[in-house]
């Protein structure tokens, strides 16, 4: 594998080109001053919007500001991610953050003002000013929240409580990221070494069972020691959600969480009930895992180790890119041409170097192009990561190209569809073309485990959130015992009785940061199911699906997520996409059991 000691050693072609944002810091500073002036101008609209013309002027200038500000903020953020140790980039990012506060403060009057208007007054403004046609849909969308917005004085009090209400989430973040120490595990040379999260994800997949077991118990130890503190933070976060839902007149915390995407609670409930009706193949896979590993007892620390040993294909970045272009060719020439442009015009930062931010992401910037961060490791996971992030990248590119700024930013609900469609097309392509039976088995195993993590585990988490919020709404006290009991019951229902339950299993809830962002995780599962549904048809060459899917990628947030997906043939208000995804999982388990 290619390793680089410094960023300078990396070939130019494998580094993103930030000159596309600013060719020098002087131009960045110029935009900084421009935004400061624009923010001051926006402040002067406070109390001065009395007709359609002044409303239009405010909105037009506000949109211009956000266009420039997005570029300005992205530049130092991307610079910092190239090398987090670099102080010049950090100070630019700090300046951008301070400017963000100024901008927010200069526009904070607007939403309370807008929602204080009568609907008829707003409609009369829109009718009298032609320019407001562009903003009309967004203005009326804001009115959906009118029922849930309180008086000006009450809103002021709530905004002052904002920091206090975020304490549970912030406290958990500090415990989880700063305070928790996992202790020591045995290194390769027999020396004790400090366990880290990154190391844990590798060790829990190690073929040496003793290493997996040692890492598992070390990883959970601090969570068990801090169980009461973490239970208090989670309980606080849930109670805050429930209280805010009541204060803002939502029927339940769940419905408040789904309101923004206009998703009926039946979609959430249907996801859970349909999955549980079709859970048998997952139980069967757990049994296959136990048999294949030849274990008397299957424990949770045996659930991540690959079942096919000795298969670790080396895939260079060049090879990975060419494989991606072939695998995604069913999406058409224009799609593939865009991916070539990503590489040739240097939208991607490829290599891991000292100080570089870990992980991978896509950042779409309206009016410029996407920037993709990778830490390519020349392995199968890195190939999947490349394909995944490029899915987001093309989605950003097409939404920017075909939508005006106001409707170009797609919602999280649909974001994972674009990336997962690519992953499914890739796995289908690899399975179709792979001759080596061992590698084929490895690919199937990879796909099934990915399915389990992205779909089944997220549905289980979604049900845990629903149950614990309902308990809080019913006045049932939330504590360690309640969380343990709820989590353990669900874990058994989803994973079956093949697994032997160590004490640690029921504490799974204590380490999930997503629980502090309520009713979010279900989107991974609906996105995955939608992607399976679409990718299967695209792979088969269904022209109608291909065209409607490409239109979907161009749509940004021009409609609500469920409506955008319906246009591709995926209707999440029915159980069909979920049933199809579960049927596909069953087929994979069947195939895997036959070739083992």
Distance in angstroms (rounded) separating the CA atoms of residues 108 and 110: 6
DSSP 177: I
Nearest-Å Rg of the Cα atoms of the chain is 25
Contacts of 54 (CB under 8 A, 6+ apart): 45, 48
Handedness of CA 136, 141, 145, 146 (dihedral sign): positive
- Taking alpha carbons only, the member of 293, 114, 279 closest to residue 213 is 293
Question: How many other C-beta atoms are found inside a 10 Å radius of the C-beta of residue 424?
Answer: 24
185 beta partners:
193
CB 468 within 8 A of CB 478: yes
Q: What is the 3-state secondary structure (H, E, C) of 268-323?
A: HHHHHHHHHHCCHHHHHHHHHHHHHCCCCCECHHHCCCCCCCCCCCCCCHHHHHHH
Structure tokens given for 19: 């000159």
389, 416, 463, 465: the catalytic one is: 389
Structure tokens given for 404: 């005006």
- Taking alpha carbons only, the member of 119, 115, 155 closest to residue 247 is 155
Please say if 141 is a catalytic residue: no
Contacts of 94 (CB under 8 A, 6+ apart): none
Residue-wise burial string across 322-350, b where 16 or more C-beta atoms lie within 10 A, e elsewhere:
ebbbebbebbeeebbebbeebbeebbbbb
In the block, residue with structure tokens 């140790």:
85
CB 306 within 8 A of CB 446: yes
Q: Which residues are the active-site residues?
A: 389
């Amino acid at each position: 594998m290619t390793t680089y000691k410094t960023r300078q050693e990396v070939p130019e072609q494998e580094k993103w080109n930030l000159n596309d944002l600013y060719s020098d810091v002087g131009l960045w500073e110029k935009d900084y001053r421009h935004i400061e002036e624009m923010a001051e101008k926006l402040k002067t609209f406070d109390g001065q919007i009395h007709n359609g013309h002044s409303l239009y002027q405010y909105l037009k200038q506000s949109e211009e500001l956000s266009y420039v500000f997005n570029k300005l903020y992205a530049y130092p953020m991307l610079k910092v991610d190239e090398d987090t140790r670099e102080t010049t980039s950090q100070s630019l990012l700090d300046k951008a953050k301070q400017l963000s506060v100024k901008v927010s403060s200069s526009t904070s009057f607007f939403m309370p003002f807008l929602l204080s208007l009568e609907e008829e007054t707003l409609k009369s403004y829109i009718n009298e000013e032609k320019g407001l046609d562009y903003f009309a849909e967004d203005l009326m969308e804001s009115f959906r929240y009118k029922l849930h917005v309180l008086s000006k004085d009450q809103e002021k009090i709530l905004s002052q409580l904002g920091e206090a209400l975020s304490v549970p989430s912030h406290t958990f973040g500090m415990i989880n990221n700063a305070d928790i120490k996992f202790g020591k595990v045995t290194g390769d040379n027999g020396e004790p070494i400090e366990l880290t999260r990154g190391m844990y994800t590798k060790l829990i997949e190690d073929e040496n069972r003793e290493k997996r077991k040692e890492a598992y118990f070390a990883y959970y130890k601090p969570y068990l020691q801090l169980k009461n503190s973490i239970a208090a933070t989670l309980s606080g976060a849930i109670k805050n959600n429930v209280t805010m839902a009541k204060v803002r007149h939502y029927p339940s915390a769940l419905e408040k969480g789904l309101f923004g995407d206009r998703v009926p609670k039946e979609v959430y409930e249907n996801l859970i009930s349909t999955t549980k009706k079709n859970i048998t193949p997952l139980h069967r896979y757990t049994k296959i895992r136990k048999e294949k590993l030849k274990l008397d007892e299957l424990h949770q620390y045996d659930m991540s180790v690959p079942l096919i040993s000795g298969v670790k294909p080396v895939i260079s970045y060049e090879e990975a890119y060419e494989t991606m272009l072939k695998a995604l060719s069913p999406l058409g020439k224009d799609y593939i041409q865009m991916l070539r442009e990503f590489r040739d015009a240097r939208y991607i930062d490829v290599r891991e170097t000292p100080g570089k931010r870990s992980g991978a992401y896509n950042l779409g910037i309206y009016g410029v192009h996407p920037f993709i961060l990778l830490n390519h490791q020349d392995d199968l996971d890195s190939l999947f990561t490349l394909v995944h992030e490029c899915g987001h990248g093309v989605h950003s590119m097409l939404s920017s190209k075909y939508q005006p700024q106001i409707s170009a930013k797609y919602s999280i609900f649909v974001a994972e569809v674009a990336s997962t469609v690519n992953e499914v097309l890739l796995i289908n392509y690899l399975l179709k073309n792979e001759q080596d039976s061992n590698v084929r088995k490895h690919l199937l195993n990879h796909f099934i485990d990915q399915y389990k993590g992205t779909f089944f585990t997220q549905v289980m988490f979604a049900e845990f959130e629903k149950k614990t919020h309902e308990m809080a709404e019913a006045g049932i006290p939330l504590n360690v015992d309640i969380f343990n009991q709820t989590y353990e019951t669900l874990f058994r229902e989803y994973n079956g009785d093949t697994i032997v339950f160590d004490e640690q299993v029921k504490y799974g809830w204590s380490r999930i940061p997503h629980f502090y962002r309520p009713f979010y995780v279900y989107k991974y599962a609906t996105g995955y199911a939608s992607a399976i549904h679409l990718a299967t048809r695209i792979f088969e060459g269904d022209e109608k699906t291909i065209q409607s899917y490409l239109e979907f990628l161009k749509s940004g947030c021009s409609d609500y997520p469920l409506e955008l997906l319906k246009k591709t043939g995926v209707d999440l208000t029915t159980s069909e996409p979920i049933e199809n995804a579960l049927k596909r999982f069953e087929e994979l388990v069947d195939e895997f059991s036959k070739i083992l």
